[in-house]
Structures are given as structure tokens and as C-alpha cells.
Structure 1
Amino acid sequence: MATAAVRRMKLGSQGLEVSAQGLGCMGMSAFYGPPKPEADVVALIHHAVAAGVTLLDTSDMYGPHTNELLIGKALQGGVREKVQVSTKFAVSLADGKMEIRGDPAYVRAACEGSLERLGVDSIDLYYQHRVDKKVPIEVTVGELKKLVEEGKIKYIGLSEASASTIRRAHAFHPITAVQLEWSLWSRDAEEEIIPTCRELGIGIVAYSPLGRGFFSGGAKLYMPRFQPENIEKNTQIFDRVNEMATRKGCTPAQLALAWVHHQGDDVCPIPGTTKIENFNQNVGALSVKLTLEEMAELESCAAAGDVLGDRYPQMDNTWKDSDTPPLSSWKE
């Protein structure tokens, strides 16, 4: 069992309360090798809930669909009442072709599909996974607002959205959380997006807080930052973090995760894992205390210009180009 219960936090300013660290479930079904045995990951989820983790993060595209079905199985037997489930829509994989969709008919159909796979009456936090640049954000959020009014979702989130998109969405209906990549080596959101969220009272959910496994030894080797032309320089960052972790008496992963926790009470990291021992380590990061001097030292290890390579093999469909047409341009 994890050593200490996970504290609670308010996520955003609309009333949602979650554990201060969530559990990213994507890797249980997709993108990190073959799907893991169902019994093992259900046991992991139950272990996490017993330790005090309440925010379970999934998406209809993980699998696709199989991760939501897995979470649905884990929610049985009284678990549903103890957790907040977040899932996402927008990445359509129809006919083997990936398309980003935020039109009202798709939003509604995606929500109905997720409700059925998860086996729940309501989704606690429903994100637009990527922004549809063809559809005004007000149109997408307008359909989400209807789903809130119908009780099918409780709170609305955005993922990988630009500051201007977040502002427009929030002006139409309150946005509870923005999910973005934030870690010691992915810090570009600090320039504009995170200040915008804080100005508007929107919670911040940090995915890949361990640098896609970089700080925990489970790196995603096909990502640009792990390619031969970049990895030697980037490994030097790990070595510096590792040296500091040794001094602190914790693991590099715990140190990197503690850095995210120390960004503020409005930040909820959602590290993913498929192993109970790794989960316990991640929860241990909540007990790692950092001084201002240690924070500065850590940030000097991975200053913005030090990390080589992009976050993704291609940067399409992320916040850097997620602005949408004006509402006045929309024709049903």
C-alpha cells in the first residue's frame, strides 16, 4: 500500500474536487507497448483508489475505446462513488483516418459512446482532446453546455488549447480545467497558457509530468527527444537531476514530479503507470519538499533552451495552432 493518503485539491473554480495527483490510464491500453493484462491494471486502479487517488484520466481514442472499457470494469463494485472520471473526445478514427472534430453532432455522439463504455450516468470532467480548427470554439462548448444541462457531464475541460481559445471558450461557459504537457523538460506552456488559466480561475492538469518516461527510465523512444541527434544532450539533463535526487534521498522521477507539485495548488499532475511499485513511487513525490533554491537549481538543469527536439514527431493539432474561426462564420 502507498505510504500516505493523497491530499485533496480544488480543480478550477466551479466546484470540482479531486486528489492532488491523478492517474493517467492511457498506457494501460495504448501507445506504450501492448495492452497490459486486464486483471493487473484493474488491481492497480483499485490500489490507487485505496491510496487516495480519485482522478482517473482516459480518452475515447486510447485503444481506441478499450481504455474506457477497462476503466468501466474497474469502476464496478462501489469504486465509482469514490472517484472522478475524466475522459476526452475530438479525435475521430473513422475508416482508419484520424480527424479532429468539434461539431455538435460529433460531440454528442462521442459523449454517448463514452458514457456507455464507462458504464456511468455522468462524466465528471469532459475534455475536448484537441481543438477542431474548423469549428468555432463557442459552437463546440455550446454543445458541451447542453450536455452539462442534461446531466451527462459535470464539468468541461480543454486539452492542448491556445490562450485565445481558452479565453473564448471560458467566456461562453466556464472551463474547469485545461490539460497540457508540463514537466521539467516541457515548459513552453508557462509563457502564456498557464498565466491565462490562473487569471481565469481554471485548473491545470499536467500530463506527462515525468517527460514521457524520461525521468523514470521508461522513455518513449520514437519521440524526437529520444532520437540519436538529441538524446546525448538530453541525457545530461537527466544526469544532473539524478545527482540532485541522490542528494535529496529520492528518485529522479519523484524529484521531477515534486517540481510539478510545487508549481501551485491549482496544478494536478496525472503520471501514468502500469506497475503498483511505480505508482507507490509517484505518490511518494507528494512528500518531497523543495526549497526555492532547490526549485531554481532544478530549473537550471533543464532551462527552456537546453532540451533538444519537439514534444511530438509532428506538432499539428496542439495548442500552438489551435485557434478557431469566429462564431459569426459558423453555418449549421
Structure 2
Amino acid sequence: MKYRKLGPELEVSALGLGCMPMAGIGTAMYGTASRAESLATIDRAIELGVTFFDTAEVYGPLVNEELLGHAIRGRRDRLVIATKFGFAFNDGQVTGVDSSPANVRRACEGSLRRLGVDVIDLFYQHRVDPNVPIEETVGAMADLVNEGKVRFLGLSEAGADTLEKAHATHPIAALQSEYSLWERGIEEEILPICQDLGIGFVPYSPLGRGFLTGQISSRDDLPEDDYRRNDPRYSEENFDQNMKLVDVVKEVAGRHHCSPAQIALAWLLAQGDFIVPIPGSKRRATLEDSMAAVDITLSDADLDQLEAAAPVGGTAGLRYGERMMSMVRL
């Protein structure tokens, strides 16, 4: 494994592990996961040198943090644990966003308990709350840093203005947002700001929710309960158009004798040493495949071919449905 820094101080493995597939919203966002295999996947990640693990209160809800907490018990000191807050719940159902200072503190206390840790290494606001000034939310997060309950602060899917205001209130170590060969919208404004301010960038869905792995040839390959069946980019009208990019990724992978997933991750790693993707996995086989991407070096010709096949805005369909799109880049 290789290592990078988020912000000036937080060292993490160059690839982290996104734990959401182990129990997402409704516990099965990417099909049903095996608890035993999920735990074995975390074990294997640690063996491979992965130190960066990403979860959230809303995954499950709650059970994802509990699973990760169980897996890391007794070896927490070597690891960087990131979790996220920012939603309101009623009877286990998400009812909206809430980044009020009271909810920031409530969420932190709950995450500490479920994870079984004394301090959260990286505490993200999961989605910006338009009803609470970001300075107020980050101020409450900074209080947790001062109390020793949180080490570093992060935001997720924040817009440029919000990020700048947040960073002026308290240093932000990382911004987490969707970024991949099929989602490059952050390159024009968000990535340059991260570089200018010394903020690390953590791409989620770096494999296009599985699309860029080359293992999905039709919508019929998805389980019946898989939420991607409602993903605009997986829709019947967009699927074939988006497969054209996968064909190019496969071609580059063939030259490197590796998987398409490894090429997609290697492309992200090549975009800057402040970028730390977090591919999600619930099985050891996919984890091992993804983590091997740190050893792949793409040539200028490879990068040019991928750039041509995946221009900014070139993917067919929005990355989310209308409701989810209304919650990003605020």
C-alpha cells in the first residue's frame, strides 16, 4: 500500500475502503451483504495496509458504524476512521437534513459509541443544511475538536462558496464528493479550490457505482432490490451510451493486464496526490482487486485516451434523481 495526506497532517492509505455496501440506507443499497464476509473484508483490508475506513450514521442507519466498530476492536490505533452526520431521523427513517449544533453533538456522541472509539479521526458533514449557516455548523464541529472527540473536519458534496466559508471558520482536512471517469463535474471549480486551500479530496463512487468495473453488461445483472435500478445513468435510455466509456476502460486494462476497476482507480490517483478514493466493497475479492490499483502507472497515452472517452459532462443522464441532486453542491 502507498500513503497520502488529507490536508497537511492526516496521513491515510492512498486508497480507503468505503464501507457503505456492507449496510447502506435500508441496509442493502448494493444488494444484500453477508455480515461474515463484510467483517472478513475489513480484516483483509487491514492486512493489505489500508488504514482509511469510511462509514456514516445514515448507513443502515446506524448498523454500518456498529459493524465497523466491531471489526476494528483491539486494533484501532493503526487506523483512520471517518464517519458522517447531517440527517434527521424519525423511527429509523431519514426525514431531512439537520446540521444544527445540537444535532452535530448528538450524532458525534452516537457515532463514538457505535464505533467503540474515544475519538473520530475525520468527522464529515454529510450534506449541507441550507437552513443552518455553515459557519454555525463548523463552529459546533470545531467545539468537538477542542474537546478531543474529533481530530479533523470534513465536508461532503459542498459547493465552492460553502467550502471556503467552512475553511475560514476552522481548517477543513477533506472534501468528499462523487468523482470518477463518468462524473468529472468537480474539476472546473471544486478541485482547484481544494488545491489552493490545501484540502484533501476523497472521491466516493470512484467506480461509477460499479459501472466502470466492466462486470455489468445490462440492467438485468443487478439484483431486484438494488437501488441502482433507479439510477438515471443505469436507465434503459442511458445504459448503452455509457457503456461506450466502459469499452475504452477495458481496452486500457487489456494493455496493463489488469481489471477495468483498477484502471478507473489509477486514473483518479493520477489526478493529484491530494486525492484519496474510497472504493466500496463488501467482499474480499473486489477489495483485493481495487487495492492493486496503487501499483498501476498510466502512460500519457493511456490518460489521453481515457480523457477523450470521458469528457466533463459526457456521461448520459444525471448522477442522481431529482431529490438527491437538490442536496449536492450547496
When the two structures are superposed, what TM-score results if normalisation uses the length of structure 1? 0.92
- Corresponding residue for 1:41? 38
State the alpha-carbon separation in 2 of the partners of residues 143 and 86 from structure 1: 17
Whether 1:27 aligns to 2:24 is: no
- Corresponding residue for 1:99? 96
Task: Pick one of 294, 318, 323 that aligns with 2:328.
Answer: 318
AA at the equivalent of 2:171? P
Do the aligned partners of 1:49 and 1:82 also contact (CA within 8 Å) in 2?
no
State the alpha-carbon separation in 2 of the partners of residues 233 and 73 from structure 1: 42
Whether 1:188 aligns to 2:188 is: no
Instruction: Tell me by how many angstroms 1:11 deviates.
Output: 1.1
Unaligned stretches of 5+ residues in structure 2: 217-221, 223-227
State the alpha-carbon separation in 1 of the partners of residues 78 and 243 from structure 2: 40
State the alpha-carbon separation in 1 of the partners of residues 20 and 40 from structure 2: 16
State the alpha-carbon separation in 2 of the partners of residues 240 and 202 from structure 1: 31
Q: In structure 1, the residue corresponding to 2:50 is in which secondary structure?
A: coil
Task: Pick one of 59, 62, 66 that aligns with 2:59.
Answer: 62
Task: Pick one of 242, 246, 266 that aligns with 1:258.
Answer: 266
Give percent identity, aligned residues only.
47
State the alpha-carbon separation in 2 of the partners of residues 299 and 152 from structure 1: 42
State the alpha-carbon separation in 1 of the partners of residues 31 and 299 from structure 2: 40
Instruction: Tell me by how many angstroms 1:32 deviates.
Output: 2.8
Task: Pick one of 1, 6, 11 that aligns with 1:11.
Answer: 6
Instruction: Tell me by how many angstroms 1:221 deviates.
Output: 3.0
Whether 1:134 aligns to 2:131 is: yes
State the alpha-carbon separation in 2 of the partners of residues 305 and 187 from structure 1: 7
State the alpha-carbon separation in 2 of the partners of residues 125 and 19 from structure 1: 14
Instruction: Tell me by how many angstroms 1:288 deviates.
Output: 1.1
State the alpha-carbon separation in 2 of the partners of residues 309 and 187 from structure 1: 13
Deviations 1:70-110 (A, max 9, x none): 0110011x221121000000022224352111110110001
Deviations 1:276-296 (A, max 9, x none): 111111111111111222111
State the alpha-carbon separation in 1 of the partners of residues 106 and 59 from structure 2: 17
Do the aligned partners of 2:55 and 2:64 also contact (CA within 8 Å) in 1?
yes
Deviations 1:10-46 (A, max 9, x none): 1112x11111110000000124345422222111101
RMSD: 1.2
Do the aligned partners of 2:37 and 2:284 also contact (CA within 8 Å) in 1?
no
Whether 1:120 aligns to 2:129 is: no
Instruction: Tell me by how many angstroms 1:250 deviates.
Output: 1.4
Q: 1:296 to 1:273 in 2, by over 3 A?
A: same
Instruction: Tell me by how many angstroms 1:255 deviates.
Output: 0.6
Unaligned stretches of 5+ residues in structure 1: 1-5, 323-332
State the alpha-carbon separation in 2 of the partners of residues 35 and 67 from structure 1: 13
- Corresponding residue for 2:158? 161
Alignment of 1:211-250 (within 5 A): 211-216=208-213, 217=215, 220-250=228-258
Please say which of residues 107-116 and 294-303 is displaced more in the overlay: 294-303
Deviations 1:208-247 (A, max 9, x none): 1101100122573321001011111111111122122112
Q: In structure 2, the residue corresponding to 1:205 is in which secondary structure?
A: strand
Do the aligned partners of 2:185 and 2:313 also contact (CA within 8 Å) in 1?
no
- Corresponding residue for 2:301? 293
Do the aligned partners of 1:42 and 1:74 also contact (CA within 8 Å) in 2?
yes
Q: 1:150 to 1:7 in 2, by over 3 A?
A: same
Do the aligned partners of 2:20 and 2:280 also contact (CA within 8 Å) in 1?
yes
State the alpha-carbon separation in 2 of the partners of residues 35 and 109 from structure 1: 29
Whether 1:281 aligns to 2:277 is: no
Task: Pick one of 159, 169, 174 that aligns with 1:177.
Answer: 174
Please say which of residues 172-181 and 239-248 is displaced more in the overlay: 239-248
4+ residue runs over 6 A deviation = none
- Corresponding residue for 2:225? none
Q: In structure 1, the residue corresponding to 2:4 is in which secondary structure?
A: strand
